[in-house]
Amino acid sequence: MALWSDWSDEAFRRARERGCPVLLFVRASWCRWCRELETLVLADPRVERVLNERFVCVKVDKDRRPDIDVRYSKGGWPTLAWLDDEAELLASDTYLEIDELLQRLELVADYYSKNRDFVRARIAEVERDRRAESARASGRGKLSLDIVEHVARTIVDTADPVHGGWGREHKFPQTEAIDFALIRWSQTGDNSMLQLVTRTLRAMQAGEIHDTVEGGFYRYATQADWSVPHHEKMLDSNAQRLFAYLEAWQVLGDESFRATARGILSFLYETLLDERTGAFKGSQDANPTYAHLTTRAARKEFGAPACDSTIFTNWNAITVSALLKAAAVLGEPRHAEAAFKTLEFLCEEMFDDQRGVYHYWDGSYHLPGMLADHAYLMRALIDASQHAGDMRYLVEARKIADMSIEQLHSPSGGFYDMVYDPGARGGLRQRNRSILENSVMAEALFRLSALLRIDDYADTARDALASFADDYKRFGHFTAGYARAVDLLFHLPIHVTIVGPRASQLALDLQRAALKPYVASRIVQILDPSEDASLLERSGLPQPRAGEPARAYVARGRESYAETADPSRLAALMTRVERGD
């Protein structure tokens, strides 16, 4: 049996002592091909003998260690990465059959033993070139609506005109692009954007990627018509699709969209909810035989695929935002209750005032300081503050914002993907900047700035977005999230401030009325004069007289548009402001 280690200094110390290379196996718990490689290929006695004699073997889960995955994976899973004893990448492969792998093992081991010094010199040269390129790219570009319009055109031009979505084969939903297309339709009236969203969501829910028996969606399809899916079900992608179908139902009133959203909710609660923590498990494994059974009874008799019980902070934070959306749109408070319970676990167990937000929980917490976890948890806290009318969520969001700026902010603008580790090896010495995660962080900072009336956060967000303005085009469909964040600079969110006793029925009715309709971008806030006096003063809104009922003020940026104490009028006022009527 081959001896596999976790990623650690000890593993690389053993490689240096033995003078041998390291085989890094990057796998996903839900990936069928990873399991086959592990049980059929890597477990072959001939392979195990060579691995034990000539390599140090390291295995990591790509979801638990996204920092390693993004630096070493070959674009998919499984990945077999060949490293030197300082964790520098020599080469990488995906799935290899037994004979192919045996040949590769002998080739890498022989080459490394004879050319070790040459390999190190070449890697040092590449590292110098990388640092020089990073220095040259440290400038900031100019932000303009041209970025938003270019991404909007690209999304339409590259979409599948028949089945919606993007890609001729391997069809992923690209929910960021769907959300951005709805925003552009709302702002411009461009019907091609709405048609694209409608075509994509209808084709996806009619395709094999949609589980019509137990609800939810499989990870992706391998055919253009959303058929022949890979049958794993992921927490994050189902939460994102839930959000997309809820928004589409808001806009179009299509009952099939609401039914699809309810199906996703059923899957989340019945399959992924961890009752002990109140958070959600990471995924359900793929099983094509199970997936093709057409009744719940048949599936119950067969036995459901296992779930990966790992709780990931960023995925749970995405789910919190989607559940809050469901509560507001469907008028079902139980979804908000579930969201707040999940958020309570994340704040109590996954956030440390000194080390930052931890990435995952498996009975204990691991891997603090990842930008993705900071950004999505900040966004969930900001959403929670708007749905609960509770300022304490903003206090937590501000702590994460300040820590992110202190520990992750790059001198060239934007945020690194992880905290600096002076003892890091190989690829982990290089901190990356993800355009999507920077965009989520920027949006969260914009909203936090507006809610707290503190301009510094907005300035930091603007600086982060500007750092990608010259090269955003190279990031593919991730640019949809970037364009949405840039768009906030030019189409400021509608800000509904409800002034009055936080627990009064009228304040709560105004809050619900502000959250329920589709609005491209909005901020909803309750300011209680008895509890939020300083923030109310900074807002410039009038101080109500004693006993005066709650009142909603509708503004955008520095411009005030309307006020009302009538919840039934609020949606129309918001729509009028959004369209500039």
Which pLDDT band, with edges at 50, 70 and 90, does 329 fall under? very high
| 187: nearest Cα among 156, 148, 158 | 148
Q: Is residue 471 part of a domain?
A: no
Contact 510, 516 (CB under 8 A): no
Identify the bridge partners of residue 53 per DSSP, sorted by sequence position: none
Across 132-157, average pLDDT:
79
Single-letter code of the amino acid located at 550: A
String of DSSP letters for 143-188: --HHHHHHHHHHHHHTB-TTT-SB-SSSBB--HHHHHHHHHHHHHH
pLDDT (tens digit per residue) in 221-231: 999 999 999 99
**Are the CB atoms for 367 and 360 separated by under 8 Å?**
yes
- Counting Cα atoms < 13 Å in the Cβ hemisphere of 118 gives 5
Average pLDDT, the chain: 92
Quote the CA–CA distance of 410 and 407 in Å, as a whole number.
9
Q: Are 89 and 194 within one domain?
A: no
Whether 127 shows a pLDDT value over 60: the answer reads no
Q: Tens of pLDDT along 344-373?
A: 999 999 999 999 999 999 999 999 999 999
pLDDT of residue 110: 87
Look at residue 119 in the predicted model and tell me its pLDDT: 60
- Say which DSSP state 292 is in: T
Domain span at residue 175 reads: 167-273+275-308
Separation of alpha carbons 125 and 133, rounded Å: 12
pLDDT tier at 561, thresholds 50, 70, 90:
confident
Residues 102 and 190 occupy one common structural domain: no
SS3 18: helix
Q: What is the pLDDT of residue 75?
A: 72
Q: Which two tokens stand for residue 450?
A: 């507006």
- Which of 262, 289, 308 is the C-terminal boundary of a domain? 308
Q: Which residues contact 87 (CB under 8 A, 6 or more apart)?
A: 12, 22, 425, 426, 427, 428
Residue 139 has pLDDT above 70, yes or no: no
Which candidate, 280, 418, 400, places its Cα nearest to that of 345? 280
Domain contains 417: no
Query: pLDDT for 172-192, tens place per residue?
Result: 889 999 999 999 999 899 999
275 CB burial (10 A radius; 0-12, 13-18, 19+)? exposed
Q: Is the pTM of this model over 0.85?
A: yes
Question: What's the rounded Cα separation, in Å, for the pair 152 and 149?
Answer: 5
438 occurs within a structural domain: no
Label residue 141 exposed, middle or buried (CB < 10 Å: 0-12, 13-18, 19+).
Answer: middle
Model confidence band, residue 578 (pLDDT cutoffs 50, 70, 90): confident
574 part of a folded domain: yes
Pair 414, 438: CB distance under 8 Å: yes
Q: Domain end: 136, 152, 175, which one? A: 136
Statement to judge: residues 184 and 299 lie in one domain = yes
Mean pLDDT in residue range 187-211: 96
Dihedral in degrees, nearest 10, Cα atoms 326, 478, 430, 363: 20
Do 176 and 296 lie in one domain? The reply is yes
Q: Quick count: other Cβ atoms within 10 Å of Cβ 237?
A: 21
Q: How confident is the model at residue 170 (pLDDT cuts 50, 70, 90)?
A: confident
Q: Are residues 198 and 104 in the same domain?
A: no
Confidence at residue 120, expressed as pLDDT on a 0 to 100 scale: 59
**Greatest CA span in the chain, whole angstroms?**
85
Q: Are residues 179 and 115 in the same domain?
A: no
Strands 4-5 and 56-61: parallel
CATH classification at residue 126: 3.40.30.10
526 located within any domain: yes
Contact indicator for 569, 514 with CB cutoff of 8 Å: no
Per-residue pLDDT tens over the stretch 147-166: 999 999 999 999 999 999 99
Residues 116 and 577: their CA atoms lie apart, in Å, by 66
265 burial (CB, 10 Å; 0-12 / 13-18 / 19+) is: buried
Question: What's the DSSP call for residue 224?
Answer: T
Q: What is the pLDDT of residue 133?
A: 55
State both tokens at 129: 């070139």
Q: How far apart are CA 349 and CA 357, in angstroms?
A: 9
The confidence band for 128, taking pLDDT boundaries of 50, 70 and 90, is low
pLDDT class for 90, splitting at 50, 70, 90? confident
Contact 226, 163 (CB under 8 A): yes
In a domain, 426, yes or no: no
Residue 515 lies in a domain: yes
* Residue 81 contacts residue 65 (beta carbons within 8 Å): no
Per-residue pLDDT at 3 exceeds 70: yes
Nearest to 30 by CA among 67, 64, 74: 64
pLDDT at 168: 77
339 is a domain residue: no
Q: What is the structure's pLDDT at 547?
A: 80
pLDDT value at residue 2: 66
User: Considering its fold, how many domains does the chain have in total?
Assistant: 3
178 & 299 share domain = yes
Which residues touch 183 (CB under 8 Å, ≥6 apart)?
A: 484, 487, 520, 521
pLDDT value of position 434: 93
DSSP string computed for 346-401:
HHHHSEETTTEEEEEESSSEEEE-BHHHHHHHHHHHHHHHHHH--THHHHHHHHHH
Res 220: pLDDT: 94
> Quick one: CA dihedral 229, 230, 233, 235, positive or negative?
negative
